[in-house]
């Protein structure tokens, strides 16, 4: 009887050992397979980054869409060397830090302001100088932290990027884009731009429509309104009218004007790097500003194609399907530049769903 109990105990313990040994091998195999999968994943991400950091042209194909899906699912890695190289180059070439807008610090009475879009000069008089802020209204010293540059592309719809955008320290929006679909585009705004032609279409009589314009701008809080007053002659009058109309209604919301010298130098900077379009888009302009002024740059709503990564049709904007009246910009070529900078770790480009 005693020997029988000993035999049973030995068998029981042997069974436990075999079961433990089997499980232990299984855990090791799983760990090895997981480690192998992670290594393969990292290698795929590195190959994609290398590919799109040096690619010369892009075309919307199934392979490109699949690559973008994979690249967007790769953990983004900042590269301080590349990021700082762009910051230093942009500062030394264009200097958004001090010259992005016209201020009383960089503009003086009697100065000649040369338009960046045509051969025209305007002499700074007292009434114009009075419109200019003392200094750049959003500068507090140092870099602006994490910045979100929010484009208007239809790719933003159903992106769930709103909460990520709202967490940014500084949020830039374009062309009076409506604050709708907050779960996708967020609500926070630190700087908003307006195109004078857009103002002319939507508010043809500034005296009559100034309250409607003021109500629209209230959606952006007290964010300064940035306008290209000295791109073309027609832009000047419209920009000045906006400034004069809003001053008594929303004095806390500054209307500021692009410095045409800055835009001219920025155009030259990107032209040397392959951007041959007649004029840079507002998106590339402000992404460049963010590269110089911000510690970290995140771009949303930048996508130049009419279908998404799953080949589903997109509207031109997240709020309408109205395309540009003329092709002054080269959006695919600009996007290629942004994609290169993303792959190099200089900016973080978000396409599709936010992770």
Q: Which residues are catalytic?
A: 329
Letter string b/e over residues 173-190, b meaning 16 or more CB atoms within 10 A of that residue's CB: bbbbbebebeebbbebbb
Alpha helical stretches, state H, the chain: 2-54, 62-73, 80-93, 96-99, 126-131, 162-166, 182-185, 196-202, 206-217, 233-246, 260-271, 282-293, 331-344
**Is residue 298 helix, strand or coil?**
strand
Q: State the Rg of the chain over Cα.
A: 27
Structure token digits, residue 114: 């040369």
User: For residue 278, which of 333, 227, 320, 343 has the smallest C-alpha distance?
Assistant: 333
CB atoms within 10 A of CB 79: 15
User: For residue 55, which of 336, 270, 338, 348 has the smallest C-alpha distance?
Assistant: 336
Say how far apart CA 186 and CA 224 lie, in whole Å: 18
Say how far apart CA 346 and CA 296 lie, in whole Å: 8
Say how far apart CA 197 and CA 204 lie, in whole Å: 10
């Amino acid at each position: 009887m005693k020997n029988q109990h000993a035999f049973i105990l030995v068998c029981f313990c042997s069974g436990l050992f075999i079961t433990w040994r089997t499980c232990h091998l299984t855990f090791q195999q799983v760990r090895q397979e997981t480690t192998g999968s992670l290594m393969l994943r990292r290698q795929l991400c590195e190959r994609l980054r290398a590919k799109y950091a040096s690619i010369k042209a892009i075309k919307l194909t199934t392979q490109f869409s699949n690559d973008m899906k994979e690249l967007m699912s790769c953990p983004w890695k900042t590269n301080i060397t590349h990021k700082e190289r762009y910051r230093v180059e942009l500062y030394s070439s264009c200097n958004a830090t001090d010259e992005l807008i016209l201020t009383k610090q960089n503009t003086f009475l009697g100065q000649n302001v040369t338009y960046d879009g045509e051969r025209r000069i305007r002499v700074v008089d007292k009434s114009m100088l009075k419109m200019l802020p003392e200094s750049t209204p959003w500068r507090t010293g140092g870099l602006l932290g994490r910045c979100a540059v929010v484009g208007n592309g239809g790719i933003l719809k159903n992106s769930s990027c709103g909460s990520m955008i709202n967490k940014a320290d500084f949020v830039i929006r374009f062309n009076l884009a409506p604050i709708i679909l907050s779960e996708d585009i967020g609500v926070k705004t630190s700087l908003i731009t307006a195109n004078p032609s857009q103002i002319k279409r939507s508010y043809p009589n500034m005296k009559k429509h100034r309250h409607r314009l003021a109500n629209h701008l209230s959606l952006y809080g007290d964010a300064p309104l940035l306008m290209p007053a000295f791109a073309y002659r027609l832009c000047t009058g419209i920009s000045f009218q906006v400034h004069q109309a809003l001053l008594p209604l929303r004095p806390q919301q500054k209307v500021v004007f692009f410095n045409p010298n800055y835009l001219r130098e920025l155009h030259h900077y990107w032209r040397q790097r392959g951007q041959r379009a007649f004029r840079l888009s507002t998106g590339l302009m402000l992404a460049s500003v963010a590269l110089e002024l911000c510690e970290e740059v995140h771009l949303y709503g930048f996508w130049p194609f009419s279908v998404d990564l799953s080949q589903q049709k997109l509207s031109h904007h997240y709020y309408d399907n109205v395309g540009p009246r003329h092709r002054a910009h080269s959006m695919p070529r600009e996007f290629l530049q942004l994609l290169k900078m993303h792959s190099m770790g200089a900016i973080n480009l978000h396409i599709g769903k936010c992770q």
